[in-house]
Structure 1
Amino acid sequence: MISQRALNRATLARQLLLRRHAMSPTEVIEHLVGLQAQAPFPPYFGLWSRMTSFQPKELAELLVGRQVVRITLMRGTVHLVSARDCLAIRPLIQPMLTRALTARRVDGIDHAAVVAAGRALLTERPLSVKAMTPLLAERFPDAPPADLPVILRWLLPMVQLPPRGVWGKAGDAVLTPVEAWLGRDLDPEPAVEHLLRRYLAAFGPATVADMQAWSGLTGLRAAAAKLDLVDLGGGLLDLRDAPRPDEDTPAPVRLVAPFDNLVLGHADRTRVIADEHRKRVITINGQVHGTVLVDGYVHGIWKRDRATVTVSPFGALTTAQREEIEAEAVDLLAFAEPGKRPTVRFD
């Protein structure tokens, strides 16, 4: 039976948070099976916290160069993934997205016809939701206009085009079908077993419930049973050759990005965050604050306003911990606001 502390250290190792790594942005993004990206810029901080050397232009160039994309995937949320993973993962996630649309009760509309019309429209000219809605309404005058882009969101694989997600840029999400942007078709025979192995490599050890909470998929027990996994007790499964550091392995202070999957990728999140702290990290309106890891666990939240980082600890800090957090925050500001005088405040 693996201890809770050893589980924490294993998770941090898989999440590349026990030390910074000399990897490329694409390697990190693929290892993590994507970065959650509802907001445009948290993925930049997610990479910064894991890489020995990373500059915003590296990710911006990958987005513009169509090597990584922003697309609705796991749990129906926007993720930043490599082009290759986009084509392989989206077909696996589609059943969950279809169920999500059904739950919204968008009835009395020919969904297939809306998807076909939307695909043709957005292939010809990428559009925002605001711009596409009246054009779709002209084609489907009997349907509530607001329902039409909802159908496309859940049923038509679409990517958000740059400059959305490009460092320092702003603007609405402009959408086009995956195939139009990448020039390739979705994988016709994706394997869910391969996705689960990828999940365990990035988030394990984990239970089937964890796998389902991360992906939004159901019925994964049979797929997991096909894999050659080690049973660590308590329902926790893992790859046989995956790293499981000693529970006494040091865990440095980290400022983890807002919306980071570290705090969202499991059903039982106590491996990194106490239940009583979750409401302070994940708000009722779906925002997920940046978190402060102290000795491997979430010990506070952080917010940035230009060249100022404000840290709100959940409990007392030692002098050494406070100094380590401050040093990490100064480094974050040097990354995000180079040349400006950094300010670090503690609430």
Structure 2
Amino acid sequence: MTTLGPRALNRALLERQLLLRRQPLTAAEAIARLVGMQAQAPAPPYVGLWTRLTGFRHEELAELLTGREAVRVALLRATVHLVTAEDCLALRPLVQPVLDRQVRGVARFAKAVADLEPDDLDTAVREALADEPLTTKELGAALAARWPERDPDGLANAARGRLPLVQVPPRGIWGVGGLTRYATAEAWLGRPLGTGATVDDLVLRYLRAYGPASVKDVQMWSGLTRLREVVDRLGSRLRALRDEDGRELFDLPDAPLPDPETEAPVRFLPEFDNVLLAHDDRSRILDERRRSAIFTRNGIIRATFLVDGFVAGMWRVTRERGTATLVLEPFGRLPKASRKALEQEGADLLEFMAPEAPDRTVSVEPSTS
């Protein structure tokens, strides 16, 4: 059985995540290949696509959202993801157990729907959203009018778990604010949820985008449990590998495994990027000692940058008096060549993020080590 070290796993991940070189794909093609992009906030998917694709423009993703070719919906790990319309309809039924578990696991949500017939709640939600998309507060008020003794916010959030409610534009459009409003996926997309995809398909797509990986890795990414039986069922369709600690890994036989010494350019990852969230063992890209700095207590996954393929620090953009500044917070001393590459790439990132700023600058803070 082939053994893969951290650099081999790193280069495989970067290749599949479009991070070894920018690719001439459309935004829709990239979103589908990545099996969606984490999207709690509107801006991160734009930066994630910019760092992966050649010539990506804000308007390309905005047009997918307004044209109903892509949507933002609670999906993997019960978190908001940007996915193609096809994947929303195909994948949401597969991860519904994850959403159901979340509703049961949050006391306020569970209490709000205790003893309610699920079909009654579903019907009430569809009726409330029949005329126009509603905010969480508006949906909660509509449901509480039917069940006045129950918590409106709990009802609305339980509804988001029960049904595929998509966040409709202008939510998700670059530079446009406004409250989050929901519609059912079926009404917004004009099609019913799919029934043809299987969990086996989901596991295969995960490995194509994130492998090689362990069963625990797939479960961490998807939120689903008991996937060992799925991997066993796939059998000869998978290639068995292991890492240097002896963990069993699985992969697609034809998936790329670049040379561990393949050069990896510096890259900027946005907040919540799935490349940091898709594995139980993140050592292929992140030093565990740095995790607490990136994964904050309030649920924010901070924006990071890669040097030689591994997380080497964090970044943020500040704006003041017409100046946009990209602030880099390296974890250790940056080699001169890497610092120069980060400054050059950072200047391009600033042009993408703050084209309206008359002055743009890159600032490197002292190392935190």
Bin of the TM-score, shorter chain as denominator length: over 0.9
AA of the residue aligned to 2:344? A
Residue number in structure 2 paired with 1:124 = 131
Aligned with 1:242: secondary structure?
coil
Residue number in structure 2 paired with 1:74 = 76
- The whole-number CA distance in structure 1 between the counterparts of 2:150 and 2:352 is 48
Residue number in structure 2 paired with 1:53 = 55
**Residues 233-278 of structure 1: CA distance to partner in whole angstroms, max 9, x if unpaired?**
2211100000000100001100111110010110001110010101
Q: TM-score with structure 2 length normalisation?
A: 0.92
Query: In the alignment, is the contact (CA less than 8 A) between 1:127 and 1:175 conserved in 2?
Result: yes
AA of the residue aligned to 2:34? L
Query: In the alignment, is the contact (CA less than 8 A) between 1:114 and 1:151 conserved in 2?
Result: no
Query: In the alignment, is the contact (CA less than 8 A) between 1:83 and 1:182 conserved in 2?
Result: yes
Residue number in structure 1 paired with 2:92 = 90
AA of the residue aligned to 1:338? P
How do 1:17-166 and structure 2 match up within 5 A?
A: 17-104=19-106, 105-106=110-111, 107-166=114-173
Residue number in structure 2 paired with 1:210 = 217
AA of the residue aligned to 1:256? L
* Post-superposition offset of 1:83: 0.3
* Post-superposition offset of 1:336: 1.6
AA of the residue aligned to 1:258? E
AA of the residue aligned to 1:209? K
* Post-superposition offset of 1:188: 1.9
Structure 2 unaligned blocks of 5 or more: none
Aligned with 1:80: secondary structure?
strand
- The whole-number CA distance in structure 1 between the counterparts of 2:276 and 2:101 is 25
Residue number in structure 1 paired with 2:175 = 168
Query: In the alignment, is the contact (CA less than 8 A) between 2:136 and 2:157 conserved in 1?
Result: no
1:303 matched to 2:316: yes
Query: In the alignment, is the contact (CA less than 8 A) between 1:9 and 1:247 conserved in 2?
Result: yes
Aligned with 1:189: secondary structure?
coil
Could you say what the CA RMSD is over the residues aligned between the two structures, in angstroms? 1.1
Residue number in structure 2 paired with 1:320 = 337
Aligned with 2:261: secondary structure?
coil
Residue number in structure 2 paired with 1:270 = 283
- The whole-number CA distance in structure 2 between the counterparts of 1:308 and 1:71 is 32
**Residues 31-85 of structure 1: CA distance to partner in whole angstroms, max 9, x if unpaired?**
0000100001100000000001101011001100000000000001000000001
- The whole-number CA distance in structure 2 between the counterparts of 1:78 and 1:38 is 5
Residue number in structure 1 paired with 2:7 = 5
* Post-superposition offset of 1:86: 0.5
Query: In the alignment, is the contact (CA less than 8 A) between 1:119 and 1:156 conserved in 2?
Result: no
* Post-superposition offset of 1:101: 1.0
Aligned with 2:179: secondary structure?
coil
Aligned with 2:172: secondary structure?
coil
AA of the residue aligned to 1:345? S
* Post-superposition offset of 1:288: 0.9
**Residues 263-313 of structure 1: CA distance to partner in whole angstroms, max 9, x if unpaired?**
011000111001010111110000011111000000100001242110000
Query: In the alignment, is the contact (CA less than 8 A) between 1:282 and 1:289 conserved in 2?
Result: yes
Count of aligned pairs:
347
Picking from 185, 203, 207, the partner of 2:192 is 185
Aligned with 1:100: secondary structure?
helix
Query: In the alignment, is the contact (CA less than 8 A) between 1:87 and 1:186 conserved in 2?
Result: yes
Structure 1 unaligned blocks of 5 or more: none
* Post-superposition offset of 1:339: 5.4
* Post-superposition offset of 1:130: 1.3
- The whole-number CA distance in structure 1 between the counterparts of 2:288 and 2:335 is 23
- The whole-number CA distance in structure 2 between the counterparts of 1:304 and 1:67 is 30
* Post-superposition offset of 1:112: 2.6
Aligned with 2:31: secondary structure?
helix
- The whole-number CA distance in structure 2 between the counterparts of 1:178 and 1:321 is 44
Residue number in structure 2 paired with 1:344 = 362
Between 303-312 and 99-108, the greater mean CA deviation after superposition: 99-108
Residue number in structure 1 paired with 2:306 = 293
Query: In the alignment, is the contact (CA less than 8 A) between 1:161 and 1:175 conserved in 2?
Result: yes
AA of the residue aligned to 1:342? R
- The whole-number CA distance in structure 2 between the counterparts of 1:115 and 1:185 is 15
Aligned with 2:204: secondary structure?
helix
1:329 matched to 2:360: no
Query: In the alignment, is the contact (CA less than 8 A) between 1:41 and 1:167 conserved in 2?
Result: yes
AA of the residue aligned to 1:217? L
AA of the residue aligned to 1:232? L
AA of the residue aligned to 1:336? M
- The whole-number CA distance in structure 2 between the counterparts of 1:226 and 1:343 is 53
* Post-superposition offset of 1:201: 0.7
**Residues 152-196 of structure 1: CA distance to partner in whole angstroms, max 9, x if unpaired?**
011011100000000110111100100000000001232111111
Query: In the alignment, is the contact (CA less than 8 A) between 1:115 and 1:151 conserved in 2?
Result: no
Q: Percent identity?
A: 48
- The whole-number CA distance in structure 2 between the counterparts of 1:53 and 1:143 is 50
